[in-house]
Chain A
Amino acid sequence: MRINKKWLVIFLVLISFITVAGIYLSRVNIPVLEPKGPVADKEFRLLVGITAIMLIVAVPVFLLLAYVVWRYREDNPKRGQYVPDWEHSRWLEGLWWVIPTILILIVSVISWNASYALNPYRPILTSKKALVIQAVSLDWKWLFIYPDQHIASVNLVEFPLKTPVHFYLTSDAPMNSFWLPQLSGQIYTMAGMQTQLYLASDVIGNFTGRSANLSGAGFAGMQFIAKSVKKGTFDSWVERVKTHSLELSLSAYRKLERPSSYMPVTYYANPAKGLFGDIIAKYMVPYGQAHENMGGVSS
């Protein structure tokens, strides 16, 4: 009877633990599992699908393990038959070479197709023209340049909902990874290189993004807000930033570039022409050969 009591206590602890965890999880935001845009949504569905397929192998493993350990333990009076020399079965071994292979084959096909379909460089097909935003990771903040709207912002990126947003990304600092989990997966930002990412939001909302790759002491402060708003709100925001903000001249950029962390949201008007290209180019060609006047790599 004592054993029963022990199991009862363990059972109660587990149940209360699961209940508390359940209540907690229902109250918090879990971005990867609660996608708000088409890209993140497809990635989430893929995640669920693959997990389901894998359970086909995992569940039998768990059941078999529990059964074997219960049935064949030495002190079990109802222990199953003991066959010490049974070491091989062509049929059984074939089974667990073949079945996982088939499952992995299925997952591979899904994976191959998904890899193309969800390539971050692949445009989101809608009738609307994509909004272009150039993102630069700096020590330790995100600069977003809107080349067509002639504005820029730091640690906040705003865009109209249900419109594809086409990011071009680079870094003027160590390598970072751009991650806005509720809308799309990550892409690296690297000095002297350009990566791209398409995303869109289906709803109005504020989403938290951050850098996912360690980039130095202020790395934890590289958090930014993404605002998905109505087209009208977006347009008036652009106008406001344009008229009420400081210019992002080259000298202003040099100041911005200096290391700082947890930088409050800041807006700029009129970013220097070709700024994004120059940030990339300064790592590509020696000093003096860069077009415009960014200069070469410092130090």
Chain B
Amino acid sequence: MSSISQNAEVARADRLIERHEKDNTTIFGFWVYLMTDCVLFASLFATFAVLRNNTFGGPSGATLFSLPYVLVETLSLLTSSFTCGLALVSAQARRKTQTIIWFIITFALGLTFLSLELSEFHKFVVMGDSWRRSGFLSAYFTLVGTHGLHISIGLLWMAVMIVFIYKRGINKLTMKRIRMLSMFWHFLDVVWIFIFTIVYLFGALHA
């Protein structure tokens, strides 16, 4: 009798290990995906580097960019990364409401960032400096815009995540997804640091 229950115990433990391995596999897979996204951004950075001086008589970064404005954008995104981290910490502590609140704050900051970016785009386009103006502007809009698109996807994901946590609470599955969402969000933050440095900072410095 006892040996049978012992066997069942062992089997259950095995299944738990299997579950755990499965979660690990998913996280590992997500890292691999992030690597492909890295290559994607690297290609876009490369095109930007090639085209950065091809202004074809149009404006260069130095005349276009306003560093204080971009700094505000950067701060809102960096802060959102921080609050996203707090959401993860709350989730690990199994605090459902707190997690949701931090995610809502993160969402709001992300939305702020996106609005700032779009209004900057709008300003340039109104001035006649759209992606049609020159190779440089094509590369600028596409690189920064692709990051913005990723942010939008991240926001959509976060919205779904908030509903998901609200409905199902914090369990193994939601925990795994929260972890991946936060990886994604931090990744976008890192990409933005590169954009800020290479596109805006270098662009504004090089006359």
Contact = CB atoms under 8 A, between A and B. Distances in A.
Pairing of A with B: yes
A296 to B, nearest CB: 9
Interface in A167-203: none
B78 to A, nearest CB: 39
A285 B55 CA distance: 9
Interface in A248-299: 285-286, 289
Size range of the interface on B? under 10
Contacts of B69: none
Interface in B48-94: 56-57
A285 B56 CA distance: 6
Interface string B136-147: 000000000000
By secondary structure, the B interface counts as loop
Interface string B91-126: 000000000000000000000000000000000000
A286 B57 CA distance: 6
Contacts of B56: 285-286
Interface residues of A, number: 3
Contacts of A289: 57
A220 B56 CA distance: 34
Contacts of B57: 285-286, 289
A286 B58 CA distance: 9
A228 B57 CA distance: 44
Contacts of A286: 56-57
Interface in A81-137: none
A286 B135 CA distance: 12
A285 B57 CA distance: 7
B61 to A, nearest CB: 18
Nearest to B56: A286
A289 B57 CA distance: 9
A281 to B, nearest CB: 12
Nearest to B55: A286
Nearest to A297: B56
Nearest to A283: B56
Contacts of A285: 56-57
Nearest to B58: A286
A47 B201 CA distance: 51
A187 B8 CA distance: 74
A271 to B, nearest CB: 27
A285 to B, nearest CB: 6
Nearest to A286: B57
A287 to B, nearest CB: 9
Nearest to A285: B57
B77 to A, nearest CB: 35
A105 B131 CA distance: 48
Nearest to A287: B57
B25 to A, nearest CB: 32
A33 to B, nearest CB: 39
A33 B56 CA distance: 45
A279 B56 CA distance: 16
Interface string B30-58: 00000000000000000000000000110
Nearest to A289: B57
Nearest to B54: A284
B30 to A, nearest CB: 38
A220 B79 CA distance: 60
B59 to A, nearest CB: 12
A168 B97 CA distance: 72
Interface of B: 56-57
5 contacts: A285-B56, A285-B57, A286-B56, A286-B57, A289-B57
Top 5 closest A-B pairs, CB basis?
A286-B57, A286-B56, A289-B57, A285-B57, A285-B56
